[in-house]
């Protein structure tokens, strides 16, 4: 199923969520970027 959706995925990023949230332009196929494991996520 995921193979049929290649190129149709978007990654949405929001920055400054604690003060003035800003939605960045969606990133198509974010899998091409290097990544690192996230151990903690801050929730506001």
Instruction: Report pLDDT for 34.
Output: 83
3-state secondary structure 3-43: HHHCCCCEECCEECCCCCCEECCCEECHHHCCCCCCCCCCC
Rounded distance, CA 31 to CA 17, Å? 23
**What is the pTM (predicted TM-score) of this model?**
0.47
Q: What's residue 22's pLDDT?
A: 93
The tens place of each residue's pLDDT in the chain, 44 residues long, gives: 556 666 677 888 888 888 999 998 988 877 777 888 877 777 76
């Amino acid at each position: 199923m995921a193979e049929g959706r290649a190129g149709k995925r978007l990654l949405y990023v929001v920055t400054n969520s604690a003060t003035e949230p800003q939605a960045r332009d969606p990133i198509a196929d974010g899998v091409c970027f290097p990544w690192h494991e996230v151990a903690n996520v801050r929730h506001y």
